[in-house]
Structure 1
């Protein structure tokens, strides 16, 4: 029996789509359909019920799932335990947020390239909420996001935390210290609605008796966008200090000491254990190490 056919079976079962499985495995939908059809002929049972809109495991497919996972897992463990990582190939899908992109993600990608030179990368940059959903539905193999993600089927490991600091456009000429009541006199740039940083700002306003409707809050899922708007349009934002400190436009911003402190942003690496793909667990360990090195270098200073 062809191992690739079992891996394809697991990918279709995970993504519930022949076309999505084809994209993830760098092949065509027709090739995926052919592999599944051949596997079904070899087993003499139907593994999927499929129509134009859905792909669902049959009772035989459900029965085969655990056994296929065990076979593929054993082969993957043999391959990674005995063989060289340099021989592995395929694609890994990673989802992350732009805070990580602008801090230590390039270091992680360099390490991945050195360890897995023949593994391609499919990178998605989005909000933490959206990345969490992509992990849950199997569209990405690993996410680095503000977490944790509360799901017993996923591993969620904290890798770093970034201090949040208040920044304003330098052209506003604001004093170095402000009260929260002064802050809301200016446009307040915040992360997307529903995000942890956005909720933290709303809680601060509530705790200090400031109705949120009195604040002009402009939401964005992009730190780069917020910094650009801060520089050119004025306003105030609470942003992760490491990312702003290394930004090319940092000279156009002023760090403001506000009488309220936002909680740090805590980032987690999140992934699902996969029999067919042991690489995410290895990359998660890489991310932990690289994030720790990044933090140590920051603390050590220039």
Structure 2
């Protein structure tokens, strides 16, 4: 039995379209149709019901899908374990959020270059919300995001956890010692992008503190470079992981505030489509786990 035909069957079943599967496999719709027809002939059963608009699995196709996925995955695992990594080729689209870029992304890219010299990386830096959508839409292969991303056929691997701190410039005229949320009302708070986990966490601690939300200005930005520049200039207070501002803490340009409102940690995941044949994103995700653990 032809493994490529099994992989084609899996993609048609997942995407419910011969034409979309053809695009995914970089072939023609006629070739996909021929592969499925041959597979059905070899098995002696119909795998799909077809009409002008829809493609759906027959009962035989439904029973076959899980086994076909397992076979394709085992073959790819075998190739990954035994094969020469330097033979891996292609382009991997990686989406990462700013926090990962600041923490350890350069080390990951160096590791990938060493292990897979013939693999090209396309990098997209964006918010976790946007990257989650792009992963589900198949626009990027691997996301390094605040997760997890809960969706069908999406795999999440835990990477690391960053403690979130209140950060400000020594220039701000805040009272010494321990601070309450009410002590911060004179300055805007920068809390990542609107709708993000840190942004929601700030809203919750303000509500828990009993402070009128309208009394505190919350500014949003998806650029940590912008946020760190503004708070270094004394524009406001930020909610950030230590790793993002470590160099500015060491130089004294920024300091950690002792605020009595604790913020939940940020949990990061490597996220990719759990598809047969999706070898490189899984390999790079494993590398990311090792690098994040050593950070």
TM-score bucket of the superposed structures, by smaller chain: 0.7 to 0.9
Instruction: Go from structure 1 to structure 2 and tell me whether the alpha carbon gap of 1:6 and 1:219 turns closer, same or farther (over 3 Å shift).
Output: same
Q: 1:166: which partner in 2? A: 166
Structure 2 CA distance for aligned equivalents of residues 169 and 17 of structure 1 = 55
Give the alignment's TM-score, normalised by structure 2. Answer: 0.79
Q: Secondary structure at the match of 1:92?
A: strand
Instruction: Go from structure 1 to structure 2 and tell me whether the alpha carbon gap of 1:8 and 1:114 turns closer, same or farther (over 3 Å shift).
Output: farther
1:77-135 per-position Cα deviation (integer Å, ceiling 9, x unaligned): 33223211221222333322110011111111211222222222233322222323333
1:227-283 per-position Cα deviation (integer Å, ceiling 9, x unaligned): 123234611111111111136996543332223221221212233432212333332
Point out the more displaced range, 176-185 or 147-156: 147-156
Deviation at 1:206, TM superposition (A): 0.9
Q: 1:36: which partner in 2? A: 32
Residues 271 and 280 in structure 1, CA contact (< 8 A), matched pair in contact too = yes
**Which runs of no fewer than 5 residues in structure 2 stay unpaired?**
none
Q: 1:103: which partner in 2? A: 103
1:149 aligns with 2:145: no
Structure 1 CA distance for aligned equivalents of residues 21 and 123 of structure 2 = 17
Q: 1:122: which partner in 2? A: 122
Instruction: Go from structure 1 to structure 2 and tell me whether the alpha carbon gap of 1:169 and 1:47 turns closer, same or farther (over 3 Å shift).
Output: farther
Deviation at 1:68, TM superposition (A): 4.7
Deviation at 1:19, TM superposition (A): 8.7
**Which runs of no fewer than 5 residues in structure 1 stay unpaired?**
295-302
Residues 144 and 271 in structure 2, CA contact (< 8 A), matched pair in contact too = yes
Structure 1 CA distance for aligned equivalents of residues 262 and 98 of structure 2 = 22
Aligned residues: 288
What's the Cα RMSD here? 3.5
Give the alignment's TM-score, normalised by structure 1. Answer: 0.77
Residues 103 and 243 in structure 1, CA contact (< 8 A), matched pair in contact too = yes
Instruction: Go from structure 1 to structure 2 and tell me whether the alpha carbon gap of 1:228 and 1:16 turns closer, same or farther (over 3 Å shift).
Output: farther
Point out the more displaced range, 270-279 or 65-74: 65-74
Deviation at 1:152, TM superposition (A): 6.8
Q: Secondary structure at the match of 1:246?
A: helix
Structure 1 CA distance for aligned equivalents of residues 224 and 133 of structure 2 = 21
Q: 1:297: which partner in 2? A: none
Q: Secondary structure at the match of 1:257?
A: coil
Instruction: Go from structure 1 to structure 2 and tell me whether the alpha carbon gap of 1:164 and 1:17 turns closer, same or farther (over 3 Å shift).
Output: farther
Residues 175 and 256 in structure 1, CA contact (< 8 A), matched pair in contact too = no
Deviation at 1:183, TM superposition (A): 0.9
Residues 94 and 142 in structure 1, CA contact (< 8 A), matched pair in contact too = yes
Q: 2:204: which partner in 1? A: 203
Structure 2 CA distance for aligned equivalents of residues 168 and 50 of structure 1 = 62
Instruction: Go from structure 1 to structure 2 and tell me whether the alpha carbon gap of 1:101 and 1:32 turns closer, same or farther (over 3 Å shift).
Output: farther
Q: 2:275: which partner in 1? A: 274
Residues 15 and 139 in structure 1, CA contact (< 8 A), matched pair in contact too = no
Q: 2:94: which partner in 1? A: 94
Instruction: Go from structure 1 to structure 2 and tell me whether the alpha carbon gap of 1:61 and 1:2 turns closer, same or farther (over 3 Å shift).
Output: same
1:184-223 per-position Cα deviation (integer Å, ceiling 9, x unaligned): 2111111222221111111111111012122111112222
